[in-house]
């Protein structure tokens, strides 16, 4: 309960961030249990929920454990010590672990067999002929790869890598009648699911660890096999560095990756049938406590179900979606000069919305044409995450090889992509690209590209400012926005931003771009307060924001005050929100909803009604303390009226959705939205797909161009 007259910073006005994150994962898991979702997509959502939980333990639980060890007594905004939060997390995760297992064993595994002909068997249930053939496969393909590691005075307890699946083997020496322990790591080179031979089913699999388990005697000849049980170990990935001592950021990150490999443990997952004595041995050797153990009756590492979700069964997947060529790129005119991507951008700013609009036909095309254009003299870009065999990186390399000045900031601190980014940085450096590795003390999360092209003897800038990464694969899976523009002020701002990122120029000024940590917080506070003023003057205060998470206490307090003044506030927040909506006297004018569907909602839109003269921004930042205080973020205003209407339409459609949306209640529970009575079902993402097709069809009717990107 919120005490009467409490100020907006009272702990009762805030949800716990960690429990809010777990609530988000419950919504992901619900997708796996929703019969309206195609079967293989349900399996994929199960894998995503399990993978999310792995990351949660590595980062969030790891961070809290580090605070606990350090004796941190600082309270979270909802008034809890790290130890209190760890207890709450354990209680919540125990329930989630059981739900994950039940979803697999009680729902998805039987449905895969009955509806899709995909059978996942236990090894013990196979015929003798099938077991014999798998034994031969084991001898030929698995046995040579395995490295059984004994534990005794001459063999110390082996190193257990993060998230690896292992078998704990108990053996008896027949002559001495002594018990011994060995560990066998389950290899990853064959995949988790082995095909069952001589099967009448089109798809018939058995888990790899079971094949090893039932043939483990061949690894320990001369010993008696007492028991074999699977376990999985999770390490802390929340490694903190002292930025005041950093001299070489790349070397520091390489060292941090090595440190993470040997980081302390945070979770031990075991089979329910594992004997207590064996559990105690693992706890002792891995330096864990009993509260770090999570047991399951079913398979461990359900994240590997993603392999099953990729089976060639299109009838059990979402109908394929091919991103369309954005309408401006269809109106290319007739002359070669008019078909030039720079000529298209000069005709007017372009808003691209992936995956509805093709990344290949817009952003990637811009980079590829810039790399080949003799008038382009410089390309600058921030890279936070990118894909294997990245067409973006390839374009940057080609540009450098052609003598253009290419400067790239590769953020080597991007979570779990550090090693990949270090490799890409070296590829770029080898090609002659000027590579920097970020700003010490700040993570560069902005998604920006600057191209300098000489036209009529003068340099002209072309820019892309987006909400998502330059990652060709995720642009098909994540929803993100980008603005393509040749606006001179935005171009000048990006020039200044890159001078800050690559050189010594911390006191840059920006006329249109809003940059964190310099001024973004102040800008948001002023925009919110302006709506309060307008509400008092005209009664038309309105804020709508679409983002990934909301946990910054300062922004939340501004929103509470705006609600108290009567400003209507609609928030579309995919992940966790620490703001409590619908509380009388504080937030009765605030609605919070979350949308989960086939695409991961990742775009950020900020709309302030401003008395009928809208101020609308897109950018890379969420309303989180880390985004506003600890990262370099960039937000760009969208002032073109047509593009503003399109963004407001996206927000309105998100608020009208009754198929993918969940409404956050004052007590922290989320309720899934459904059509009421005779209402039609409104699926936000399907509406946007249809809108993209209609925009492009209008263009093809006029210009006779193609509908979809040739190679997205």
Name the residues annotated as catalytic.
445
Paired strand residues for 430: none
Cα–Cα distances (Å) from 60 to 41, 567, 592, in that order, read 27, 34, 23
Of the candidates 321, 657, 643, which has an alpha carbon nearest to the alpha carbon of residue 482?
643
Q: Which helix (DSSP H) or strand (DSSP E) does residue 594 occupy?
A: strand 590-595
Cα–Cα distances (Å) from 488 to 356, 450, 481, 485, in that order, read 28, 11, 21, 9
- 36, 318 in Cβ contact below 8 A? no
Q: Are strands 478-485 and 600-601 parallel, antiparallel or unpaired?
A: parallel
CA separation for the pair 406, 258 (Å, rounded): 30
Q: Taking each helix axis from N to C terminus, what angle separates 109-116 and 39-56, rounded to the nearest 10 degrees?
A: 160
φ, ψ (nearest 5 deg) of residue 428: -65, -45
3-state class of 188 per DSSP?
Answer: coil
The 8-class DSSP code of residue 104 comes to I
CA separation for the pair 137, 539 (Å, rounded): 74
Q: Which two tokens stand for residue 162?
A: 């993060």
What distance, in Å, lies between the first and last C-alpha atoms of the chain? 51
Question: Residues 6 or more apart from 394 whose CB is under 8 A from it?
Answer: none
Residue 511 has a CB neighbour count (10 Å cut-off) of 10
Of the candidates 319, 316, 309, 318, which has an alpha carbon nearest to the alpha carbon of residue 43?
309
SS (H, E, C) 314-366: HHHCCCCCCCECCHHHCCCCCCHHHHCHHHHHHCCCEEEEECCECCHHHHHHH
Cα–Cα distances (Å) from 324 to 297, 370, 645, in that order, read 45, 22, 20
Q: Which helix (DSSP H) or strand (DSSP E) does residue 662 occupy?
A: strand 661-664
Alpha helices in 388-476 (DSSP H): 391-401, 418-430
CA separation for the pair 380, 461 (Å, rounded): 11
Task: Work out the burial of residue 223: count CB atoms within 10 Å of its CB; fewer than 13 is exposed, 13-18 middle, 19 or more buried.
Answer: middle
Task: Work out the burial of residue 655: count CB atoms within 10 Å of its CB; fewer than 13 is exposed, 13-18 middle, 19 or more buried.
Answer: middle
């Amino acid at each position: 309960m919120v005490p009467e007259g409490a100020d907006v910073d009272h702990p009762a006005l805030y949800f716990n961030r960690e429990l809010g994150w777990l609530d988000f994962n419950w919504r992901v898991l619900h997708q796996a249990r929703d019969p309206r979702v195609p079967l293989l997509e349900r399996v994929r959502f199960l894998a995503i929920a399990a993978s999310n939980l792995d990351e949660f333990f590595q980062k969030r639980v790891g961070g809290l454990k580090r605070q606990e060890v350090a004796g941190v007594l600082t309270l979270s905004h909802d008034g809890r010590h790290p130890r209190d939060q760890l207890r709450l997390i354990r209680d919540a995760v125990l329930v989630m672990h059981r739900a994950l297992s039940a979803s697999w064993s009680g729902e998805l595994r039987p449905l895969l067999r009955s509806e899709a002909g995909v059978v996942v068997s236990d090894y013990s249930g196979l015929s003798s002929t099938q077991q014999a053939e798998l034994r031969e496969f084991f001898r030929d393909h698995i046995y040579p790869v395995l490295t059984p590691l004994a534990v005794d005075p001459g063999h110390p307890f082996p190193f257990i890598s993060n998230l690896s699946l292992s078998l704990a083997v108990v053996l008896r020496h027949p002559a001495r009648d002594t018990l011994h322990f060995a560990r066998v790591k389950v290899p990853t080179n064959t995949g988790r699911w082995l095909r069952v031979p001589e099967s009448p089913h089109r798809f018939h699999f058995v888990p790899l660890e079971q094949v090893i388990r039932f043939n483990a005697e061949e690894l320990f000849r001369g010993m008696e096999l007492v028991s074999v049980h699977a376990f999985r170990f999770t390490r802390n990935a929340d490694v903190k560095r002292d930025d005041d001592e950093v001299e070489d950021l790349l070397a520091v990150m390489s060292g941090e990756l090595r440190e993470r490999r040997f980081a302390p443990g945070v979770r031990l997952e075991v089979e329910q049938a594992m004997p207590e004595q064996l559990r105690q041995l693992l706890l002792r050797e891995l330096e864990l406590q009993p509260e770090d153990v999570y047991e399951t009756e079913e398979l461990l590492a359900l994240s590997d179900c993603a392999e099953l979700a990729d089976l060639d069964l299109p009838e059990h997947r979402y109908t394929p979606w091919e991103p369309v060529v954005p309408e401006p790129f269809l109106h290319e005119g007739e002359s070669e000069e008019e078909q030039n991507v720079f000529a298209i951008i000069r005709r007017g700013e372009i808003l691209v919305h992936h995956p509805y609009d093709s990344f290949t036909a817009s952003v990637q095309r811009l980079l590829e044409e810039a790399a080949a254009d003799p008038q382009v003299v410089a390309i600058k870009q921030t890279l936070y995450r990118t894909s294997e065999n990245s067409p973006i990186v390839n374009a940057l390399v080609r540009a450098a090889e052609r003598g253009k000045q290419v400067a790239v900031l590769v953020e080597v601190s991007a979570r779990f992509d550090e090693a990949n980014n270090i490799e890409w940085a070296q590829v770029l450096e080898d090609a002659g690209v000027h590579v920097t590795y970020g700003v010490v003390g700040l993570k560069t999360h902005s998604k920006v590209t600057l191209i300098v092209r000489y036209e009529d003897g003068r340099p002209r800038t072309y820019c892309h400012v987006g909400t998502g990464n330059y990652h060709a694969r995720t642009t098909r899976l994540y929803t993100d926005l980008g603005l393509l523009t040749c606006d001179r002020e935005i171009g000048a701002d990006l020039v200044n931003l890159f001078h800050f990122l690559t050189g010594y120029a911390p006191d840059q000024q920006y006329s249109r771009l809003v940059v964190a940590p310099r001024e973004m917080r102040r800008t948001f506070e002023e925009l919110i307060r302006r709506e309060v003023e307008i509400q008092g003057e005209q009664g038309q205060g309105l804020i709508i924001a679409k983002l990934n998470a909301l946990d910054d206490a300062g922004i939340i307090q501004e929103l509470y005050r705006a609600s108290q003044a009567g400003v209507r506030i609609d928030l579309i927040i995919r992940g966790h929100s620490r703001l409590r909506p619908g509380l009388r006297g504080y937030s009765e004018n605030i609605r919070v909803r979350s949308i989960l569907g086939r695409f991961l909602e990742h775009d950020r839109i900020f709309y302030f009604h401003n008395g009928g003269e809208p101020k609308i921004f897109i950018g890379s930042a969420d309303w989180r303390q880390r985004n506003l205080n600890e990262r370099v973020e960039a937000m760009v205003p969208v002032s073109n009226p047509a593009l503003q209407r399109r963004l407001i339409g996206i927000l309105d459609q998100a608020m009208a959705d009754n198929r993918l949306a969940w409404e956050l209640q004052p007590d922290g529970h989320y309720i899934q939205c459904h059509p009421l009575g005779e209402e039609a079902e409104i699926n936000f993402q399907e509406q946007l797909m249809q809108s993209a097709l209609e925009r492009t069809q209008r263009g093809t009717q006029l210009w006779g161009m193609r509908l979809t990107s040739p190679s997205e």
